[in-house]
Structure 1
Amino acid sequence: MRLRKFIPYIFLAPAFSIFLIFIIYPGILGFIVSMYRTPYSFGPSTFVGFNNYFSVFKSPGFLESLERTFLFSALEIPTIYFISLGLALLMTSPSVKAKSVLRVFFFLPSVLSGVITALIWDWMLNYDFGFVNNLFTVLGLKNLPFLLNPNYAFISLVLIMSWAVSGFFMVIFIAGIQSIPTELYEAAEIDGASTLEKFAFITLPMLKPTSILVVILSTIQSMQLFDIPFVLTGGGPGEATTFAVEKVYNTAFINLNMGLASAMSFILFLIFLAIGILQFKVSREGQFLA
């Protein structure tokens, strides 16, 4: 009987060990490094306490990269939401044929790595020989510097990231739509409700928990953005697409200031944690009100 009490802990031990080794231990080590002016691996270190945390806000470009990250999230989250919801509605419509093939087609970008996605769009958006600009030439339009102009590059990243992940969120919305009782739609049809009215008064309210989940996951994904802009634009032109996580990377591995980079990481962690707690609180209140 005593052994049976420990069985759940035995099954939890592997997952907890991985969490301890790859999350907790690096986090503690990173916090220790953030207390030093120089990293251990690049020379003698000097203990400076919390001075690195104060220096973060004086670091050139950090606040701008953080502001850029929030702006990117503010544009990407609604874009992902409406695209994935639209695809889910399309994939659950009785009038659409070959749904299985279309679902695979829309979901496929979600399984590609960020590096592959960046390389594909680097070729697609190239100014001289990219597919998109070649298409513009055929249509008699001027080539656009998608990756050379700061505004174009920023908007291009929003659309590319939305393209890359909308298929994943489409699957979540499909599951939510399919869980809505069909009796509600049948009753609405008897009352003479139009398709738009059924969507507004049945589908959207019933998808509230699913919508909250999509918003939370897309927020986490957008705030941690690194691989695609790093490979596609390198943070440029200038620093137009340098986001917070890439700024930490540049500080650590280009400027070789591990202490300052670790302090940036912990500040980002606290910001992301606050956003996560806020979203979790809103989601619980929303489910309660629903």
Structure 2
Amino acid sequence: MTEHEPVVDLQLDRAHSARIYDYMLGGKTNFLADRMAAGSVLGVFPAALVAARINREFMHRATRHLAGAGLRQFLDIGTGIPTPPNLHEIAQRTAPDARIVYTDNDPIVLAHAAALLRGTPQGRTAYVPADVTEPAGILSAPQLLDTLDLTRPVALSLNALMHFVTDDGRDRAHTVVETLKAALPSGSTLAMTHATADYSPDTMNRILGIYREAGTALQFRTRAEFLRFFDGWELLDPGVTLSHQWRPDCPEDATHVTDAEAACYAAVARKP
């Protein structure tokens, strides 16, 4: 580090949603504060490990489907700690020329960004350090504009992200998503998951309190509120489902998890 480079505060004494998720997925890039928060969540919701895994598996299936359907550009916001296989690995297995831009606001994700940039020679990957609540900055970032052509369809991924954007009386989350959708051309897609309290409100309200005490704002949304994120776009079959029910690789996969254990809606839609 040179004397001119800023010192980045990784805030390792505070739990961070990306690192809690990393712990739930069995990753190694998490710290005491993250593990303590995760332990508290598991104390009231033991199925959190299952919910994290099936949420990640939805991303794999959706990405594989979209790459197979011809999408060659992917924008993954709220990337999280790299956990193989990452989105670019899934997309480039089907389409080696796929281009992927990752973005996250956790400086530890930035520190691990090199793992996200090891793509195929035919494709490209890039990383943008940014916050989803400032979508204009993401869309205008040089790294994004050098990698993606926003006049051609883009597959936008918002995986387990928007429940960390609270509305505070301003419908902020839907405004952010509409800004991102408006910047993408016809044929683009939105793949999204979002935690819900529809199936176990008491348990999920306790989880809200745990995250709040750890310094992370969280807002669960109903099915109707989740559906609003796709306004004006055409939902792909089977529409809005729980995360484990969206096009499972094997039909029996959707029967091994209860709706309350999944606690997360999922859907993919295309811009007309």
- TM-score class, shorter: under 0.3
Structure showing greater radius of gyration is 1
Higher RCO (CA-CA < 8 Å; seq separation 6+):
1
**Bigger share in strand:** 2
**Bigger share in helix:** 1
